[in-house]
Structure 1
């Protein structure tokens, strides 16, 4: 990304942008050999790396043990991984949390909780940690099409609440639960699953659900066959609704032409909200407010309605202390808490901290284990054996460097917005039409990545022809032409590293029932079918991450102010900068105006949250691997493989 000046011959060459989506100029690094007696001994290299490998494994272990003790409340809550064939004819996956206090003689309330679309059962950790700690039995499901559950049939969202009602029926049979105290809670499309579960429960000979909390999705306000008539679809059940003031998808009112009349932060005053708080009445003049519990007799039973309106966004719901307080308060009031604690006495954040430590350890392991394998006979040929010294960039090289960064960022942001507005891609992205692409979200992100990877390759070629070749760039010396043997070795080494890294994830899942994550970025265990789906999408991610690694390392490696880490930091920043700018622009507009940027749908902004971290980390990881190998393909292959697996294991799978 800049030009390096080599004393004596003034050789320079062109480099590509840090985003991997364009090229920038940079000077070729030179190897300042310090020995004439042949390759240096690998022992110092191995010893230096042993510390980091041991530290990465230690972080993974500390993460697993720490998260385990928090989610089991000091080993007083048993955690079971359940998978069973339901009455819907599909396998449903769930985590069962059973406190020691729940027995056949001392039956406990049970709450079935669900994540939203494109997520998994672990996204409900705030709820299952806090509710189980208070004595509730909790079942956190993978909705059909998510996590370890069977794929979702096209159009099967309403069938038995996408699996939630199947879990309710199982819960009712457990010997240690009180069948009169069954609650359900869902976030986003998990709330829609709760709504459909209520409909299924209404049709059952013996209704099972007594309390419902809907988080970040609309309630069913009107008659399901006549949307102009407000009714009480929930009967005598207790129902709560969490409506975020900055929800990207819901809680707006519209005129007859579909134009928005109110923003989410005005929801409490809308007819829908007032009807909900008035138990289905549509013409009440009594204006009810958020945060108040309203009671009314329905069919001879006392029922509760409550509306919460926190000032937060839709994806923040599962990670919100405030929403977790609402959940605790609601179920304590409606089902009673076997072991009541103050709602603000929460420890799930400690689990989140340990999960994040594991995510850091996982990333460190990718680098440290790669370097460790370079000390083995099978992969020693990939190890760089000659020390070298980087020189600073020239002024001309810096012009190319910064100019290409700007071009890269603009193209990256523009291409993402253009793809998000494509009507042709919409049925594929949302899995709303029959197609061989069973996961729309990873396909969209992968396609965007591949387009930017191709753009990067084009710019690198242009850069080389116009600047690099006539300034002494040697493609073989910077690792762009390593030879087929080195490329095949890189693929083999990359596979070993990726398999070993996810092997740690599976061990942690097996022994501790935890994973590595922070908010919407998760590295978790998965079912075998995800491997074949990953193979389908891997080429898209390979185009980008290999090009990105070549751009960062073979074209853009030099010193700034005599420090290489400054160069690495700039590359990491610009890798993520276009994504970061889009997210900031989206939410700044939302907070100021009360609504999103016109034409930029909310889900496309949400999908970028984990991408910010991944792109920044990709620059650092690929740089560290390149320093040890002089091979830009190895780091690109490892990162592409890991990102592909992460993508396909944290999303929705739909089959036609």
Structure 2
């Protein structure tokens, strides 16, 4: 049995490494267009005195004798530069020089100083100045684009550019954030002057493209945007739209402004805010716009796109990363240092009947209800919501992580209470032994287990850095990403790790010590049920939010759009946690190892993918 277990662990370990290697090679080939584009992971001190991180993509042939148009891209709030990969892959293969930045406060750029939120916008213009300094860039053809807060940064960059001795920005493409419509006096204005400007206004945007009366009451939903005075004024180059002819989406309007022909256009697809950077339609519209404005160096049809292949390879890396966590942990059990944690053979699980089954299903239902209701209450709390956006450094430098960590810890406590009540009322009377089911493994095994988990987590992230170094890629799918990170993130992770430990340790104890039994004679059925149970509340909240949104045109009152968006990665992480902890617990009868691994991984991933404030 020992030899069989070791062979299986080694097989899965080797497979995980192969999968991550294939992921990195494949993603690298796609994003470099088979070697036709050079990609550089940059970090430099900008004119603002801050360190900025960015990816620079330079197509073959770009030189001082063959200057190319350049595009600076910016991600949204709580994200990083790789979130623009669909755009930078396609722009670079068409011959543009592309700079995709980590805005200040995000990922590997310097933290955002509290009270200086507008500095996030200067990050965009610092990127523009950097790309304009490159000898192979045509400084008369520089465009900027951003998603969500990246579009806000693009808006804020315009007056900075207006004040420059030589303005650099020729065109602007805003994705999922409003353009500027009025001046300080509330009068309609052509904020962008003679620049070309395009806007993607999603019909189901959770945050933008609404109009309001003077009292702040919402008048129109995002799907009605194109008919609003704001949209019409924008398409009329800042003129008061009263009495003007109605203009439409998916139409390019031109006007001579300050001696040059300028463009205005709006597209409004039926999609949501977070889908923008992951949408073929968005990429097609962006490519089409910049072709009109700057001219595409390499003529490739806008609809001919390969970035989806990169996403597929990146997602494969996520799978390999997850397999590695289990395979490396179980492989270490066959070393001398950790052999004492390994049990001779997994316990034979019996089916559960009668009152025991009632306690099981009752516990799942109560946990799901508490999970959903508590998240709703936290989301609706104004004070908590404010902190979630701004943080409270230095104790709480990442408000977005804090709100999820708080919710996780609350549900961990509830899980411990339900488990304790189940044991006291039912389990103890029926001979349940806490040592036998792994809840009390002894201090030595507990400490050994945490050490093993720490080695597994450190090794897993070391691999992420190694693959990033050689291939300039990471492992991700849409809003779920495992990137590299700067050293300061480890200190920040220690702030939030205790919250996640409460949840993932409690969850692992409940799943592996108290809820492990056979369903229809198979343990995998039990694992599947528990994996679904972990995620059922977030799934139902997401379904409720977007069903309401698509039917009514607006969000559920009191349930903010960002709160439902934050649930997307959680819907994946929680079922994975059930599987990972079950796989490790089966060979150790120790629920703390898998619980610690999941808590540490989720904490590091969370603090690496969000906004950081500092004093």
1:237 aligns with 2:195: yes
Conserved? CA contact 2:351–2:521, under 8 Å: yes
Report Cα offsets for 1:151-198 as digits up to 9, x if no partner.
Answer: 011232323724110010111110001000000000000000000111
Structure 1 match to 2:174: 214
1:50-69 matches, within 5 Å, as 50-69=10-29
> Per the alignment, do residues 347 and 520 of structure 1 end up closer, same or farther by CA in structure 2, a change over 3 Å counting?
same
Please state how far the C-alpha of 1:427 moved relative to its aligned partner.
Answer: 2.7
User: Which of 268, 275, 299 in structure 2 is aligned with 1:316?
Assistant: 275
Structure 1 match to 2:165: 205
Instruction: Work out the number of aligned pairs and report it.
Output: 614
SS of corresponding position for 2:382:
coil
Structure 1 window deviating more from structure 2 (183-192 vs 434-443): it is 434-443
1:524 aligns with 2:461: no
User: Which of 474, 480, 493 in structure 1 is aligned with 2:433?
Assistant: 474
1:24-103 matches, within 5 Å, as 42-103=2-63
1:138-287 matches, within 5 Å, as 138-159=98-119, 161-223=121-183, 225-226=184-185, 228-284=186-242, 285-287=244-246
Q: TM-score, normalised by structure 2?
A: 0.99
Please state how far the C-alpha of 1:650 moved relative to its aligned partner.
Answer: 0.4
Conserved? CA contact 1:160–1:196, under 8 Å: no
Report Cα offsets for 1:558-583 as digits up to 9, x if no partner.
Answer: 00100110100000001000000000
Report Cα offsets for 1:177-220 as digits up to 9, x if no partner.
Answer: 10000000000000000001111101111100000000000101
User: Which of 87, 90, 101 in structure 2 is aligned with 1:130?
Assistant: 90
SS of corresponding position for 1:430:
helix
Distance 2:519 2:385 in 1: 44
Distance 1:650 1:174 in 2: 29
SS of corresponding position for 1:95:
strand
Structure 2 match to 1:456: 415
Please state how far the C-alpha of 1:433 moved relative to its aligned partner.
Answer: 5.8
SS of corresponding position for 1:180:
strand
Structure 1 match to 2:378: 419
Conserved? CA contact 1:244–1:265, under 8 Å: yes
Please state how far the C-alpha of 1:506 moved relative to its aligned partner.
Answer: 0.2
> Per the alignment, do residues 461 and 150 of structure 1 end up closer, same or farther by CA in structure 2, a change over 3 Å counting?
same
Distance 1:388 1:311 in 2: 52
Structure 2 match to 1:595: 554
> Per the alignment, do residues 160 and 438 of structure 1 end up closer, same or farther by CA in structure 2, a change over 3 Å counting?
closer
Conserved? CA contact 2:493–2:603, under 8 Å: yes
Structure 2 match to 1:646: 605
Distance 2:537 2:209 in 1: 29
Distance 2:120 2:465 in 1: 30
Distance 1:304 1:433 in 2: 42
Please state how far the C-alpha of 1:309 moved relative to its aligned partner.
Answer: 0.2
Please state how far the C-alpha of 1:125 moved relative to its aligned partner.
Answer: 0.2
Conserved? CA contact 2:314–2:476, under 8 Å: yes
Structure 2 match to 1:112: 72
SS of corresponding position for 1:283:
coil
Structure 2 match to 1:560: 519
Task: Give the CA RMSD over aligned residues.
Answer: 1.0
Report Cα offsets for 1:547-602 as digits up to 9, x if no partner.
Answer: 00000000000001001101000000010000000000000000000000001010
Detail structure 1 runs of 4+ shifted over 6 Å in the superposition. Answer: none
Please state how far the C-alpha of 1:389 moved relative to its aligned partner.
Answer: 1.5
Report Cα offsets for 1:296-329 as digits up to 9, x if no partner.
Answer: 0001111000001010000000000000000100
Give ranges in structure 2 of 5+ residues lacking alignment. Answer: none
SS of corresponding position for 2:105:
coil
User: Which of 299, 315, 335 in structure 2 is aligned with 1:356?
Assistant: 315
Structure 2 match to 1:9: none
User: Which of 302, 305, 312 in structure 1 is aligned with 2:264?
Assistant: 305
Higher relative contact order, chain-length normalized (CA < 8 Å, sep 6+): 1
Conserved? CA contact 2:105–2:120, under 8 Å: no
Give ranges in structure 1 of 5+ residues lacking alignment. Answer: 1-39
1:371 aligns with 2:354: no
Please state how far the C-alpha of 1:395 moved relative to its aligned partner.
Answer: 2.5
SS of corresponding position for 1:103:
coil
